[in-house]
Structure 1
Amino acid sequence: MACHTRSNSFPSRSHPLASNFEEHLRKLRSSSSIFRRLTGLQDLHDCVDKVLSLPLTQQALAQEQQKKWVVRYVKLLDMSSIAKDALLQTKECVQGLLSALRRRRGDEISSEVKKFLASRKAVKKTIKKAFRNLMKACSPCNINEEHEMITMLREVETVTFTVFESLLSLIIITGPKAQSKLSGWSSLVSKLVQPKRVACEEEESNINEFEKMDVGLSSFITHKSTTSKLDNIVHVQNQLKELESSIQDLEEGLECLSRPLIKNRVSLLNILNH
């Protein structure tokens, strides 16, 4: 039976649907780039869409003891929108600062730099609040493990959290204290959902474009003389262009991912409402 065909029973691990799931999961786990992880997560959630179409999946998740887990999963999918908003807000500030740098007006540059740093602070606050809210939703709950497809969904929950954690960490981490804090959240979620945690490999660089920009601009505004600031304009412009390019790639990855996430979110909410 093909992957898109509905079934009245849960297929075994040898079934094409389960085999596709395992292949997508394997590729995602082997990805070292956040961009490839987003693509892998899109493929995985496309497969989840088919899992959620199975009548017995819907019946199992509609059971009262499973609804708490379904609510938690829906909240996790909402993290995609939070990431998209954070990227958009940062990109708008990047473009405003690039425009000011091209005009090379000292006072305007300083104002835009401060605006950028204030926006970054607000973005970090929003993301941290979202993680705290997710923590509240991640209380221990039972899930029916007798059906393999339900177990598969539990694995998707784990890997989805891991990818969003990696993405949001990329956006907000700018020092060891922040890294330690986020790792603490990750550890707590790991204990609460009791997953087979996905081994995330190191990003291609220990210092990402967001962090380099935060550090560079913080240093930029400490220069006392306008001449000193203008000497650094070309360097800052190059950093901003690299950051803008990175944001564009991440936005495209999230846009592709959002389609299956929206479908799965709707499916899960329909299950909760029946």
Structure 2
Amino acid sequence: MAASPMNPKSHCHARSNSLPSRPHPLILQCNEHLRRLGSDATSSSSSPIRHKLSGLQDLHDCVEKLLQLPLTQQSIVQESQEKWVDKLLDGSLRLLDVCTAAKDSLLHTKECARELQSIIRRRRGGELELATEVRKYLVSRKVARNAIHKSLGNLKAIEKKCTFATANKDHENAELISMLREVEAVTLSIFESLLSFISGPRQTKSKLSSWSLVSKLMQTKRVACTQETDENEFAKVDAAVQSFALQMTIKSDNINSLQNLLEKLESHSQGLEEELESLFRRLIKIRVSVLNILNN
């Protein structure tokens, strides 16, 4: 009896076009990435968002390598008429859409922050020009938050449908299907955390007096100080700009404090953007790999 190409010493009755009974090291590696990311996602003291995105890149890099294995490709071809393959392709599109939404939100916020920084640096237009730019920033953030909340609502609906059927499957194929389902679920979960992070705390719809709003913002700042700095840059800037808009004073201390927060936000956004762009390219490569397997 022929030995398995991925395990020359193994002798079993598995079909030649199925994955070997002993998990391939890449499957074990993918499962280890999933375990780590799942632990990060549920931890009460979660890792910084960039760390999670970097972990996602490692996971999808592992999946991409797994898809290059001949026996993995044969298994997918064998299952090409099954619904889970269509769900896999649909899921890859969903991940690309959510990743694009996150990138757009980051870019939009970063550009608005940069415009506000520019006005602060020049300080030529006085309070009127500064007030106009502050209002523009607040409006742009409201638009971004609304778009994010819509995406988060869509994500909730998607997560409920994120299941692949594994009944009556070979053990090896069932394991592959289960792992790919977990990859999509964990990726969606981290994208959800990222979108919530970019959005910042939800604003109440009721109209607040200037004093109650300032009090609320100061309380938010105190709570933020107890959390990780990496996870509060957007919320800190939102609170600072709101407070600045209410007080509308161009005292040097206030201006410098706001400018420093905006600079940190821009740097932080740039880092997240780079991580997302790299992840986006990996997601595209995985989708192309699956399509090529099915079309060849």
* TM-score for the superposition, normalised by structure 2: 0.72
Q: How far 1:203 moved relative to its partner?
A: 6.8
Contact 1:24 1:40 in 2 (8 A): yes
Q: How far 1:73 moved relative to its partner?
A: 4.1
CA 1:206/1:92 → structure 2, altered by over 3 Å: closer, same or farther?
closer
- 1:20 is aligned, of 29, 33, 38, to 29
**Which residue is equivalent to 1:168?**
195
Helix, strand or coil at the partner of 1:39? helix
1:36-60: CA deviation from partner (whole Å, max 9, x where unpaired) = 1111100111111233342244236
Give the Cα–Cα distance (whole angstroms) in 1 for the partners of residues 278 and 35 of structure 2: 20
Give the number of the structure whose alpha-carbon radius of gyration is greater. 2
Give the Cα–Cα distance (whole angstroms) in 2 for the partners of residues 113 and 126 of structure 1: 20
Return 25-34 or 239-248, whichever deviates more.
25-34
Contact 1:57 1:150 in 2 (8 A): no
Give the Cα–Cα distance (whole angstroms) in 2 for the partners of residues 111 and 246 of structure 1: 25
Give the Cα–Cα distance (whole angstroms) in 1 for the partners of residues 78 and 146 of structure 2: 37
**Which residue is equivalent to 2:119?**
100
Give the Cα–Cα distance (whole angstroms) in 1 for the partners of residues 22 and 242 of structure 2: 53
Give the Cα–Cα distance (whole angstroms) in 2 for the partners of residues 177 and 270 of structure 1: 48
* 1:181-260 equivalences in 2 (<5 Å): 204-205=228-229, 208-224=232-248, 226-227=249-250, 231-260=253-282
- 2:151 is aligned, of 122, 130, 141, to 130
* TM-score for the superposition, normalised by structure 1: 0.77
Return 132-141 or 66-75, whichever deviates more.
132-141
One-letter code of the match for 1:22? Answer: N
**Which residue is equivalent to 1:113?**
134
CA 1:254/1:57 → structure 2, altered by over 3 Å: closer, same or farther?
farther
Contact 2:197 2:234 in 1 (8 A): yes
One-letter code of the match for 2:77? Answer: Q
1:134-156: CA deviation from partner (whole Å, max 9, x where unpaired) = 44545545422632111110110
Q: How far 1:19 moved relative to its partner?
A: 2.2
Q: How far 1:217 moved relative to its partner?
A: 0.6
Q: Give the paired residue count.
A: 245
Unaligned runs of 5+ in 2: 7-15, 41-46, 206-225
What root-mean-square deviation, in Å, do the aligned CA atoms of Structure 1 and Structure 2 show? 3.0
Contact 1:173 1:211 in 2 (8 A): yes
Return 259-268 or 62-71, whichever deviates more.
62-71
Give the Cα–Cα distance (whole angstroms) in 2 for the partners of residues 161 and 61 of structure 1: 24
CA 1:214/1:267 → structure 2, altered by over 3 Å: closer, same or farther?
same
Unaligned runs of 5+ in 1: 179-201
Q: How far 1:61 moved relative to its partner?
A: 5.5
- 2:176 is aligned, of 144, 149, 155, to 149
Q: How far 1:273 moved relative to its partner?
A: 7.6
CA 1:19/1:92 → structure 2, altered by over 3 Å: closer, same or farther?
same
- 1:40 is aligned, of 55, 72, 77, to 55
Identity in percent: 47
Contact 1:49 1:263 in 2 (8 A): yes
Give the Cα–Cα distance (whole angstroms) in 1 for the partners of residues 250 and 156 of structure 2: 48
